[in-house]
Amino acid sequence: MRRRQGVSLAWLYLATFVLGIGLWWLYAALGDNELAPAPPEVIESFREGLRDGWLLEHTAASLQRVVAGFLLGVALAIPAGFLMGWYRWARGMVEPWVQFFRTVPPLALIPLVIVFLGIGETAKIFVIFLAAFLSCVIATFQGVRNVDVTFVNAARVLGANDATIFARVIVPASMPYIFVGMRVALGSSWATLVASELLAAPTGLGRMMQSAQQFLQTERIVVGIIMIGALGFAMDRLLLVLERRLTSWQEVR
């Protein structure tokens, strides 16, 4: 039964992909916008980028920034979320700042980031880090807060101390929330990439798309969008695989 469901879902993925490409091609062929690139033009631009090397160069630069910012954000968000959920004093000290900065778009922070960190790689990674951190810390905090109190009380009755309860009850029960937060953080990291590469980036997919916009090279813009979407999708699938391995005990539909 599981295998048939997997095949069915794969066919749905394929069908919606073909439908999307078909509608795009139809719009490019019949629309009045001469700048709208058709799929063959985008494919040719993609081949040119691979042949000349500029696409791999931009992709590698962006991937490095996203991975660094995402990993740093998650590495700090998970312990911060646990502290906020487990200790009242930590929640009182951290939550107001988290909620405040969650409402501020990363793009609005760029002028201050330039002032304090300059326009180097540190500034670009920091903007991505902030987006990933704010997305993941709330999910982790909510995971700790939603742990069934019955499990905690049962562990105490059996003689478990705080450290054992935290390691054997709180952490496993919070894992599904943490992975949801990580997936949202990953999306936020890629969404913030273009904004981070406004900081005088010499390379990167965001920089490539900005340059293509100036010269009306719309096919390159589409290539950049496709690369960002494909890389983000692939990384999200990897997180799903890791989640299934670490939360195999969880019942899902």
| CATH number of 175's domain | 1.10.3720.10
Residue 82: which domain range? 37-246
Rounded CA gap, 71 and 144, in Å?
21
102-105, long-range: CB < 8 A, 24+ apart: 102/134, 102/138
Task: Determine the Cα angle at 59 with ends 57 and 63, to 5°.
Answer: 120
Q: What is the predicted pLDDT for the residue at 137? A: 92
Q: How do residues 142-196 score in pLDDT, each as one tens digit? A: 888 888 778 778 888 887 777 888 888 888 888 889 999 999 999 989 988 887 8
| Segment of 28-32, 238-242, 243-247 carrying the highest mean pLDDT | 238-242
Same domain, 121 and 219: yes
Domain contains 141: yes
φ/ψ region of 147 (left if φ > 0, alpha if ψ in -120 to 50, else beta) reads beta
Same domain, 31 and 42: no
Q: Are 143 and 85 in contact (CB under 8 A)?
A: yes
Instruction: Examine residue 63 and state whether it is found in any structural domain, yes or no.
Output: yes
Q: Classify residue 185 as exposed, middle or buried by CB count within 10 Å of its CB (0-12, 13-18, 19+).
A: buried
| 24 and 87 together in one domain | no
Residues 1 and 41 in one domain: no
Please determine, for residue 1, whether its predicted confidence score (pLDDT) is greater than 60.
no
Tell me if 227 is assigned to some domain: yes
Q: Tell me: do 100 and 118 sit in the same domain.
A: yes
* DSSP one-letter string for 94-158: HHHHHHHHHTS-HHHHHHHHHHHHTTSHHHHHHHHHHHHHHHHHHHHHHHHHTS-HHHHHHHHHT
pLDDT in tens, 77-117: 999 998 888 888 888 888 888 888 888 877 788 878 888 88
Q: Tell which residue, 49, 51, 58, has the closest CA to residue 203.
A: 58
Q: Is residue 152 part of a domain?
A: yes
Residues 164, 199, single domain; the answer is yes
pLDDT of res. 66: 93
d(C-alpha 33, C-alpha 148), whole Å: 56
Query: What is the per-residue pLDDT for 250?
Result: 64
Q: What's the pLDDT band for 21 if we cut at 50, 70, 90?
A: confident
Looking at residues 1-14, what average pLDDT do you find? 63
Domain tally for the chain?
2
The answer to whether position 253 is within a domain reads no
The answer on 106 and 3 residing in a single domain is: no
What is the arithmetic mean of pLDDT over 46-65? 91
Do 110 and 18 lie in one domain? The reply is: no
237 in the same domain as 175? yes
Residue type, 19: L
Look at residue 5 and tell me whether its pLDDT is greater than 60.
no
**251 in any annotated domain:** no
Is 65 found in the same domain as 6? Answer: no
Convert the pLDDT of each residue in 59-82 to its tens digit.
999 999 999 999 999 999 999 998
Tell me: do 212 and 94 sit in the same domain: yes
105 belongs to a structural domain: yes
Domain check: are 24 and 113 in the same one? no
